[in-house]
Amino acid sequence: MAVDGAAAAAGLSAGISLADARTLVPDVIVQPDNPAKTATLLARLADWCGRYTPWTSVDGEDGIWLDIAGCAHLFGGEAALLKDLLTRLSHLGFSAQAALASTPGAAWALARFADEAVIVEENETRWRIASLPVTGLRLTTEVVSSLSRLGLRQIGDLYSLPRAPFAARFGEETARRLDQALGRVSEPISPRRHVAPFRSRIAFVEPIGHADDITRGLDHLLEGLCDQLSRATRGGRRLELTLFRIDGSVQEVVVGTARATRAVPHLAHLFREHLTMLDPGFGVETMILSAPSTEKLEADQTTLKGEVGDATESMGTLLDRLGNRLGFGRLHSLQPVESHLPECTQRLMPVSLERQRPSPRLSPTSGRKGKYASLASLREREGSCAERPIRLLSYPERIMPITPEEGDGAPPSVFRWRRELYQLRRIEGPERIAPEWWRQDQDWAGGMRNYWRIEDAEGRRLWLYREGSGAEESRWFVHGLFA
């Protein structure tokens, strides 16, 4: 329950019952509390505060933490930052109180119980919070009431008490809150979002709204960010562009890359498509570009045209463009796997997960050599790969036999599959494939399979198999296509 400024002036206060409120002010406007909505609003406000620092966090139901270490100079000092924050918040229609202190606990108390927005240096924390009520220590109401029964109403009253009996009497939590406020123990607070180590920020004196201006701003940010990345010999895998609009809303654009990169034109290209979809509203006043996900990337060699690595590099850029539109989960490469089960001999590997594979020639270790040798021998053992289809069905599809199965386990000579009739003309088989005993594969629950290559009267070639062996009813499936 909360009251606004006008209600407070009329004599209402939080905690008063509705009947009393109606008696005092008959035309009081009552709005039911909506905690979910408030929380969403507070979270959005915390994002908005990202314009000051990447490190923001929602505190309970009515507060936001900002860690402005190293950020204040961007706004002309701590006092200017605090003033800017409060001014903008009041323009947005919020009534807010703020305080800046060296510990979260002290800032919490000062923001709520100091008369004005204050900035408290580290060495004056102790006496500045001494006169504040003990509620400022984020204590439970039981503790606060038992403290006040003992006459301990101000934080300063607790300073002289010996810590051990105090902790025993009022709980370890209470003692710790005091320590936290005074900076005797540290108080870690997780930021709302992962704080990207690589960040670049640009603020505009006049809000910008034109798409060209935003593109130019982005280019500027990209240059700054890629410079940082290059100094750290890293490349971005995911980049976030945050636009702070003048009306207080925040817009975000995220692009991903298949391989680490710090090429400005390439990244600018990836952003370009998204920028057209952005709505700058009445104007954008701050743009922040950050790279939350980066990878080691050695020194650039991409600027030289016609290099050997040039072609692969630009395949990466193509994949990035496709991935940002289609989603990286839909781009796959085929990787061979050692297995004799048809569906296990290849794996679809998302291109974004694919690391640069060591090529067999470049791997000096004997262990690797052995592995490749065994792969090669496996291929030889398979004999000609011509016995494998060119397309494999993701799930084998059952056929409908028209004629009964031949006596020697050969496939039915006439069957129907996908609404088409197949009349067998030539066959080859069976090739017996048994499930690997160490696999618990549901698809292979039917046991051994007998594979046949068949060709029908029209020249269509399929890879069929018969599930199970012997007595039980035979079931035939199509598993692959040869054409």
Partner 1 sequence: MPIATLALPDQTGTRPVNRDLLADLRRQVAGLERTGQVTEDTVAFGVPEIDCHLPDGGLAGGAVHEVFGRAVTGFAASIAARLDGPVLWCLDASRREDPYGPGLKALGFNPERLVLARCHGLKEILWTMEEGLRSTAPSLVIAEPEANIGLIESRRLQLAAEAGGTLGLILRDGGEVGRLAPSAVASRWQVDPTSGGGWHLTLRRCRGATISRDEWKVRYNDATGYLALVAETGDRPGATADGLCPV
- Site residues (vs partner 1, CB under 8 A): 311-312, 314-315, 317-319, 321-322, 325-326, 330-336, 342, 345-346, 348, 351, 382, 384-386, 388-395, 397, 410, 413, 424-428, 453-455, 458-461, 480-483
Grouping H, G, I as helix, E, B as strand and the rest as coil, residue 150 is coil
Residue in 174, 155, 56, 173 with CA at minimum distance from that of residue 112: 155
Using an 8 Å Cβ cutoff, are 452 and 429 in contact? yes
Of the pair 11, 329, the CB lying nearest partner 1 is at 329
Shortest approach of partner 1 to residue 380 CB, angstroms?
13
Shortest approach of partner 1 to residue 414 CB, angstroms?
11
Taking the C-alpha atoms of residue 191 and residue 65, their distance in angstroms, rounded to an integer, is 8
Of the pair 243, 478, the CB lying nearest partner 1 is at 478
Shortest approach of partner 1 to residue 5 CB, angstroms?
53
Using an 8 Å Cβ cutoff, are 448 and 469 in contact? yes
Shortest approach of partner 1 to residue 425 CB, angstroms?
6
User: 99-100 and 118-119: which strand pairing?
Assistant: parallel
Of the pair 382, 443, the CB lying nearest partner 1 is at 382
CB count within 10 Å of CB 99 equals 21
Q: Quote the Cα angle for 115-118-121, to 5°.
A: 140
Taking the C-alpha atoms of residue 390 and residue 388, their distance in angstroms, rounded to an integer, is 7
What is the b/e burial string over 357-377, where b = at least 16 CB atoms within 10 angstroms of the residue's CB? eeeeeeeeeeeeeeeeeeeee
CB count within 10 Å of CB 41 equals 12
Of the pair 5, 459, the CB lying nearest partner 1 is at 459
Shortest approach of partner 1 to residue 29 CB, angstroms?
50
Shortest approach of partner 1 to residue 319 CB, angstroms?
7
Residue in 15, 70, 330, 349 with CA at minimum distance from that of residue 199: 70
Of the pair 26, 459, the CB lying nearest partner 1 is at 459
Of the pair 118, 427, the CB lying nearest partner 1 is at 427
Taking the C-alpha atoms of residue 388 and residue 162, their distance in angstroms, rounded to an integer, is 82
Residue pointed to by tokens 């690797």: 368
**DSSP H or E stretch at residue 19:** helix 18-24
Shortest approach of partner 1 to residue 307 CB, angstroms?
14
Residues in the chain: 483
Q: How many CA atoms lie within 13 A of 166 on its CB side?
A: 17
Of the pair 195, 341, the CB lying nearest partner 1 is at 341
Shortest approach of partner 1 to residue 99 CB, angstroms?
52
Residue in 461, 437, 438, 459 with CA at minimum distance from that of residue 451: 461
Grouping H, G, I as helix, E, B as strand and the rest as coil, residue 131 is coil
Shortest approach of partner 1 to residue 35 CB, angstroms?
39
Shortest approach of partner 1 to residue 389 CB, angstroms?
5
Taking the C-alpha atoms of residue 55 and residue 225, their distance in angstroms, rounded to an integer, is 18
Of the pair 246, 258, the CB lying nearest partner 1 is at 258
Shortest approach of partner 1 to residue 62 CB, angstroms?
44
Of the pair 7, 424, the CB lying nearest partner 1 is at 424
Q: Read off the tokens for 141.
A: 């109401």
Shortest approach of partner 1 to residue 115 CB, angstroms?
60
Of the pair 268, 427, the CB lying nearest partner 1 is at 427
Of the pair 76, 360, the CB lying nearest partner 1 is at 360
User: 63-66 and 449-456: which strand pairing?
Assistant: unpaired
Reading phi first (left if > 0) and then psi (alpha if -120 to 50, else beta), residue 364 is in: alpha
Grouping H, G, I as helix, E, B as strand and the rest as coil, residue 426 is strand
Q: Which residues pair with 254 in a beta bridge?
A: 240
Of the pair 208, 270, the CB lying nearest partner 1 is at 270
